[in-house]
């Protein structure tokens, strides 16, 4: 039996009377890379945030490695295994870049500060920002902050990585580098759910592409199916509008 690392069954999330996502069903196998695309406000971020319970969902079940994601004793453990890179960077302004990256490995995995900071330096090098290790987040440019956020998530060596538009604040040069990092992670067998508008990345790396609209998954399939042979009319318009500029 193939173990699905993430199973999402009939999930719905409401904000007051407004339904942000509904009837979401999605199983993700270990090592799979799923790219989520869709217009603004379609619920992509909300879906990602439900997976590690940053938003509690109102209906259905989400299972990570067979464990239901819900408030309780094992939530912290689930979260340590599910890394997340935010659309906003959410770096901790009260500590240096290096500390930002080393913190969770020390507090959650029990590493020593020395060890954690050594590993953090390596990750900062990987995203090309090691020279700023001693600066505070407010002293970095937007792109630099985003790269730190990625390093921070990688530091936990999570089983599943959630990316919410990880490259949106990066300049094109850096987009390339970060996408390379993500590609190498995919080759290492890390399961990833990536909300992105980088169609190039989706085409090259995704095992599956999910198209959301109005809080629902409207179509899903291999990148080839989605990009070359879209069925849903809304997906067609969406793709056309992207290619037109």
Q: Contacts with Mg ion in 133-152 (CB under 5 A)?
A: 141-142
Q: Contact between 107 and another protein (CB under 8 A)?
A: yes
Q: Contact between 83 and another protein (CB under 8 A)?
A: yes
* Three-state secondary-structure class, residue 14: strand
Q: Contact between 45 and Mg ion (CB under 5 A)?
A: yes
Provide the binding-site residues for a copy of itself, judged by CB under 8 A. Answer: 15, 37-41, 45, 87-88, 139-144, 147, 165, 168-176, 179, 197, 199-201, 238, 241-242, 244-245
Paired sense of beta strands 4-15 and 59-64, if any: antiparallel
| Separation between Cα atoms, residue 29 and residue 192, nearest integer Å | 10
| Separation between Cα atoms, residue 144 and residue 212, nearest integer Å | 30
Residues 6 or more apart whose Cβ sits within 8 Å of residue 180: none
Instruction: State in angstroms the smallest separation of the CB of 188 from another protein.
Output: 20
The pair phi, psi for residue 209, each rounded to 5°, is -120, 135
Q: Contact between 80 and another protein (CB under 8 A)?
A: yes
Q: Contact between 94 and another protein (CB under 8 A)?
A: yes
* Three-state secondary-structure class, residue 202: helix
Binding-site member from 25, 108, 118, 242 for another protein (CB under 8 A): 108
The pair phi, psi for residue 207, each rounded to 5°, is -85, -30
Q: Which residue number is nearest to ligand ATP in terms of Cβ?
A: 143
Instruction: By CB under 5 A, name the binding residues for Mg ion.
Output: 45, 141-142
């Amino acid at each position: 039996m193939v173990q699905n690392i993430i199973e999402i069954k009939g999930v719905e999330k409401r904000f007051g009377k407004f339904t942000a996502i509904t009837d979401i069903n999605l199983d993700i196998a270990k090592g799979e890379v799923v790219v989520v695309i869709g217009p603004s406000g379609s619920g992509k971020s909300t879906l990602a945030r439900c997976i590690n319970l940053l938003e509690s969902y109102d209906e259905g079940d989400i299972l990570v490695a067979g464990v239901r994601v819900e408030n309780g004793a094992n939530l912290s453990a689930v979260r340590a295994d599910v890394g997340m890179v935010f659309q906003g960077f959410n770096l901790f302004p009260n500590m240096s870049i290096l500390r930002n990256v080393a913190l969770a490995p020390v507090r959650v995995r029990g590493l020593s500060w020395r060890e954690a900071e050594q590993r953090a330096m390596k990750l900062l090098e990987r995203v090309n920002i090691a020279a700023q290790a001693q600066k505070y987040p407010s002293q970095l440019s937007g792109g630099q902050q985003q790269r730190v956020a990625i390093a921070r998530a990688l530091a936990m060596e999570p089983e599943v990585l959630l990316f919410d538009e990880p490259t949106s604040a990066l300049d094109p040069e850096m987009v390339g580098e970060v996408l390379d990092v993500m590609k190498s992670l995919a080759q290492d067998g890390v399961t990833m759910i990536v909300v992105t508008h980088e169609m190039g990345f989706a085409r090259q790396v995704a095992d599956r592409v999910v198209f959301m609209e109005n809080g629902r998954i409207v179509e899903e399939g291999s990148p080839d199916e989605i990009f070359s042979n879209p069925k849903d009319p809304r997906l067609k318009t969406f793709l056309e509008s992207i290619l037109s500029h």
